[in-house]
């Protein structure tokens, strides 16, 4: 939780921080979106979303009025399921804010609609110097409703990737494990950073003036394989992508069969069929992938050349959708 003594400008808006100069009806939607989030989030009132600085101090009377209004919203039927106990007004803080805890009974509706946020994907577009235009990215259908692609690119996306680091060559004991959720490009960034920290670097000293350093697993091949897993996975299943790192191998298991009834032999021969073309379009726009081809074969060949002792493609496991 931020406070007035923290350095300004405050951090940019993300999946758990929102700034509002004034309190108004739009705060209803922010609360609804955070109820469907992944962690406790805060709506800071009196803070400019452009400068990220405090621009207004609320009086005690104003704080009390806002607290009463939010209480009426939460106790009414506009939210379903009821978010009572999940939304708190922190009026005793100098930096006035609304605290929202994600509920256990997602999705939470506001007036029959589910709201999501796009701070993460907007920040990535801004980082790349690109304009974020939700309609051009396929976020809306012909009825002006959000598409599945929009949900995958939202802060609330709950399709996860689980990464486990094991001690040795078996699953008997693990060193660490993480689960990554949120918009797909952010997942890629965070997963690659995490794996890089757990990809040992070795050095070979020969007669040359400088030593030769090499990662245990080729970074280029790991990057390509992980991006392919996320971009081309089946999103009809809630089962997570599972990445396991052992002392002698790295495995990636993606839910769902090959797309369109393709055979493994055809994939290895270079035949392509993107399962999620709109996701491919966005990832290509953000330069995560070079084109629409699924490069399973090239990833395998590259890994072989760079020192993998074995690279074997197996048929994807069949997962049942989670209830």
pLDDT tens across 153-177, in order?
Answer: 999 898 999 999 999 899 898 899 9
Q: CA–CA separation, 262 vs 59, rounded Å?
A: 64
CB atoms within 10 A of CB 226: 23
Asked whether the beta carbons of 21 and 56 are under 8 A apart, the reply is yes
Q: Give dist(CA 279, CA 150) in Å, integer.
A: 9
Cα–Cα distance measured from residue 74 to residue 182, given in angstroms and rounded to the nearest whole number: 26
Q: DSSP states of 270-292 as a string?
A: T----S-HHHHHHHHHTTSSSSS
Phi-psi region of 81 (alpha: psi -120 to 50; beta: other; left: phi over 0): beta
Question: Do residues 137 and 282 make contact, with C-beta atoms less than 8 angstroms apart?
Answer: yes
Q: Is the pLDDT of residue 242 over 60?
A: yes
**Strand, helix or coil for residue 43:** strand
Contact 311, 303 (CB under 8 A): yes
User: What pTM was estimated for this model as a whole?
Assistant: 0.76
pLDDT class of 211 with cuts at 50, 70, 90: low
Has residue 304 got a pLDDT over 50?
no
Of 55, 51, 46, 9, nearest to 24 by C-alpha is 46
For residue 259, the model assigns a pLDDT of 77
pLDDT digits (tens, 9 = 90+) for 257-295: 777 777 878 777 777 778 899 999 999 999 998 754 444
How far from the centroid of its chain's Cα atoms is residue 318's Cα? 24
Q: What are 201's strand-pairing partners?
A: 215
Q: Which position has the token pair 């290895």?
A: 268
The residues with which 229 forms a beta bridge, in sequence order, are none
């Amino acid at each position: 939780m931020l406070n007035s003594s923290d350095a300004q400008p405050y951090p940019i808006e993300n999946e758990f921080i929102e700034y509002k100069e004034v309190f108004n009806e739009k705060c209803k939607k922010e609360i609804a979106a955070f109820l469907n989030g992944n962690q406790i989030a805060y709506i800071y009132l009196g803070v400019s979303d452009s400068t990220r600085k405090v621009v207004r101090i609320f009086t005690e009377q104003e704080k009390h009025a806002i607290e009463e209004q939010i209480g009426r919203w939460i106790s009414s039927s506009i939210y379903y399921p009821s978010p009572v106990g999940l939304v708190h007004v922190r009026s005793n803080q100098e930096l006035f804010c609304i605290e929202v805890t994600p509920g256990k009974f997602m999705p939470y509706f506001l007036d029959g609609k589910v709201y999501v946020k796009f701070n993460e994907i907007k920040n990535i577009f801004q980082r790349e110097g690109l304009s974020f235009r939700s309609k051009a990215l396929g976020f809306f259908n012909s009825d002006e409703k959000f598409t599945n692609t929009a949900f995958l690119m939202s802060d609330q996306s709950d399709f996860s990737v689980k990464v486990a680091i094991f001690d040795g060559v078996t699953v008997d004991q693990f060193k660490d494990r993480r689960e990554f959720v949120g918009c797909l490009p952010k997942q890629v960034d965070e997963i690659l950073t995490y794996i890089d920290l757990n990809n040992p670097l070795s050095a070979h000293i020969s007669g040359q003036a400088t030593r030769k350093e090499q990662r245990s697993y080729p970074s280029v091949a790991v990057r390509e394989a992980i991006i392919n897993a996320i971009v081309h996975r089946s999103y009809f299943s809630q089962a997570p992508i599972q990445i396991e790192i052992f002392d002698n191998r790295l495995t990636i298991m993606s839910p769902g069969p090959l797309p369109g009834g393709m055979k493994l032999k055809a994939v290895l021969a270079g035949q392509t069929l993107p399962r999620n073309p709109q996701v491919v379009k966005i990832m290509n726009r953000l330069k995560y992938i070079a084109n629409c081809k699924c490069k399973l074969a090239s990833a395998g060949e590259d890994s072989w050349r760079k020192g993998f002792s074995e690279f074997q493609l197996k048929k994807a496991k069949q997962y049942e959708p989670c209830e």
